[in-house]
Amino acid sequence: MSLRRSGPARRTFPAAAGILITLLSTLAAPGAAGANATDVRGPDHPEKDWMGSTIRAHEGGDRADAPAPRAAGSSVEGVDVSSHNGRVKWSTLRRSGVRFAYVKATEGTSYTNPSFTRQYNGSYKTGMVRGAYHFALPNNSSGAAQAKYFVKHGGDWSGDGKTLPGALDMEYNPYGATCYGKSPSAMVSWIGDFFKTYRAHTGRHAVIYTSANWWKQCTRDSGRFDDTNPLWVPRYGPSVGQLPAKWDFHTIWQYRSNGSAVGDRNQFNGTYSRLRALARG
């Protein structure tokens, strides 16, 4: 019995093998599922998305004028880190005056920071007050699902006096539409769902990180959370500037994105004793 074919459909074995190899290579390639898969399964490159990464892209980075000096003891220096920082020199930061740190723990419901444990424990071992943050993807899954994922993978809280409440990072969508395809009312509901679930699991109100511009655009400047959730605001200039919605004051200010040792620099708006009070709840 002959296996030979005639006519246009005929292919040689090497050609068929080449097609098979190409197909297998395509299926194995990172991101082969397509850009739309990031909306469901999570981002292809979450290590590039750290707190404020999209703020710089949409609102600009550091300005030449440095933050105005604060009176001694009226603020506390801090940093925030994620996997893109790699091995952080915590002892160097401590000697430079840094006293608190936030570490990225999770993103959506499919990503955990591979450096989280080393970074989280490293800051703690040098005597810093530390906390964890979650990069929100509201089009990925519900607020409740992401809060549970965050708590399960590093975002839980303990009353040891050195663990800050978890923070929700709400900023521009790095993978698509600015407001993740949600209306202002739907976005506010999503955030409320996250906060309610986080508090049910930890007993704490989560900190919220967001800019005035994003908040106005994506929540229609909602004032729903200003009485309960501490505000962490990014602005890379000499002052904190306009605050979102009805918050009367900020708790943390991310004032720089190109500091030495670690780029993102923050100031807690108060004394060190008040920072410890926030940690104790």
Model confidence at 43: pLDDT above 70: no
Model confidence at 232: pLDDT above 50: yes
Of 139 and 37, the one with more pLDDT:
139
At residue 45, the pLDDT reads 61
- The active-site residue, picked from 47, 49, 107, 171, is 171
15, containing H or E segment = helix 13-28
With cut-offs at 50, 70 and 90, classify the pLDDT of residue 61.
Answer: confident
Rounded to 5°, angle at Cα 240 from 236 and 246: 130
Question: Domain extents for the chain?
Answer: 46-280
Of 2 and 164, the one with more pLDDT:
164
Of 46 and 125, the one with more pLDDT:
125
pLDDT tens, 183-218?
999 999 999 999 999 999 999 999 999 999 999 999
Residue pair 65/238 in contact (Cβ under 8 Å)? The answer is yes
End-to-end CA distance of the chain: 82
Question: Is 169 assigned a catalytic role?
Answer: yes
CATH code reported for the domain at 46-280 = 3.20.20.80
Comparing 32-46, 72-86, 122-136, 247-261, which segment has the lowest mean pLDDT?
32-46
At residue 66, the pLDDT reads 57
At residue 258, the pLDDT reads 78
With cut-offs at 50, 70 and 90, classify the pLDDT of residue 74.
Answer: confident
At residue 260, the pLDDT reads 72
- The active-site residue, picked from 49, 107, 169, 264, is 169
d(CA 182, CA 199): 23
At residue 262, the pLDDT reads 85
Of 4 and 40, the one with more pLDDT:
40
d(CA 5, CA 17): 17
At residue 48, the pLDDT reads 67
Model confidence at 7: pLDDT above 60: no
With cut-offs at 50, 70 and 90, classify the pLDDT of residue 10.
Answer: very low
Of 74 and 183, the one with more pLDDT:
183
Of 147 and 63, the one with more pLDDT:
147
Average pLDDT over residues 248-263: 88
With cut-offs at 50, 70 and 90, classify the pLDDT of residue 49.
Answer: confident
Q: What percent of the chain is predicted at pLDDT more than 70?
A: 79
At residue 50, the pLDDT reads 84
Measure the CA dihedral 262/267/271/275, to 10°.
Answer: -70
- The active-site residue, picked from 49, 80, 107, 264, is 80
Average pLDDT over residues 133-158: 97
* Distant-in-sequence, close-in-space partners of 125: CB < 8 Å, separation ≥ 6: 90
pLDDT tens, 75-122?
999 999 999 898 999 999 999 999 999 999 999 999 999 999 999 999
Q: What percent of the chain is predicted at pLDDT more than 90?
A: 68
Between β-strands 167-169 and 129-135, what pairing exists: parallel, antiparallel or unpaired? parallel
0.85 exceeded by pTM: no
